[in-house]
Amino acid sequence: MSAFPGYLLSSNFPSRNAVVTFTEDLINCLFPMVGDAEAYTEQQCSANISLRKQLTEILTPLSKRYELDVSAITNAYLDELANIKAELIEDAELILEFDPAAYSVEEVILSYPGFYAIVMYRLTHPLYKHNVPILPRMMSELAHSRTGIDINAGAQIGCPFFIDHGTGVVIGETSVIGKNVKIYQGVTLGALAVRKEDAQTKRHPTIEDNVVIYANSTILGGKTVIGHDSIVGGNTWVTESIIPHSVVYTKNQIVVADKKDFTEPLNFII
Ligand SMILES: CC(=O)OC[C@H](N)C(=O)O
């Protein structure tokens, strides 16, 4: 009988509880009214004493297994929080501006699952860029389990970004999304083929600025580009690039692209 792999007994990994606490504290520092506002004063958060300690405690055991400069990563990450917060406020304001069912930016911040998923994405992406293993995935899967929205920390997502309703949204690791993009529940930005040997290649689509993708549409492939200012209608299957200013939708099970009400570029039937 083969022995169990040693990692099962290793203490070199972050505990789930530590990751949940770190995540909650991060969010409470960015948006004190989400948690216990009095416990997270601006002063405390700018000092980041507790966050620094927590991140160091999470990364130190990982650094025994992976090459990580714990203090450089921790400093760089905490320095990034102010920019992350500024971007998130822009995201929340776009949601308020675009969703007729949103009545205040506070409502968006406190309640929208799409906003929560974007918060977690913006908090995990810098960790991914610093080549931190496991932690960003644990955080994004926490958001996935809470919202049904699966955004891989490796995706590159511009600001502002809007996800409405959100359940079932999947945004793959090598997706690139421009500014001012809006997506609805069930949208998949996925790979055309799932092969382990493609791990280092761009497998997921590029969505340019000002695109809207309505519910349950699936856009696949690393070379697939949805041109800026386009609309992808609900339930549409797209595996080829779409030129800017298109409207793409499914009609009688056939995908067609029509001319949008713009003066320039012509559209085409695919
Ligand atoms: C979203 C998606 O295409 O997932 C498939 C696989 N995990 C990959 O990243 O390629």
Ligand 1 neighbourhood includes 248 CB (under 6 angstroms): no
Ligand 1 neighbourhood includes 172 CB (under 6 angstroms): yes
pTM here is 0.90
ipTM above 0.90, yes or no: yes
Q: How far is CA 77 from CA 48, 161, 253, in A?
A: 11, 21, 47
Question: Which residue ranges form the domains of the chain, and what is each CATH number?
Answer: 9-147 (1.10.3130.10), 168-251 (2.160.10.10)
Ligand 1 neighbourhood includes 173 CB (under 6 angstroms): yes
Ligand 1 neighbourhood includes 114 CB (under 6 angstroms): no
pLDDT tens readout for residues 81-111? 999 999 999 999 999 999 999 999 999 999 9
Report how far ligand 1's centroid is from the alpha carbon of 47 (Å).
Answer: 38
Residue in 194, 202, 207 to alter for ligand 1 test, most ligand atoms within 8 A of Cβ: 194
Report how far ligand 1's centroid is from the alpha carbon of 166 (Å).
Answer: 18
Q: What are phi and psi of 103, to 5 degrees?
A: -105, -15
Q: How far is CA 30 from CA 48, 168, 227, 260, in A?
A: 11, 26, 33, 40
Highest mean pLDDT range out of 63-67, 203-207, 265-269?
203-207
Ligand 1 neighbourhood includes 191 CB (under 6 angstroms): yes
Report how far ligand 1's centroid is from the alpha carbon of 230 (Å).
Answer: 24
Tell me the residue type at 136: P
**Among 34, 19, 214, which Cα is nearest to 112's?**
34
pLDDT tens readout for residues 9-66? 778 888 999 999 999 999 988 998 777 666 556 555 655 568 999 999 999 999 998 9
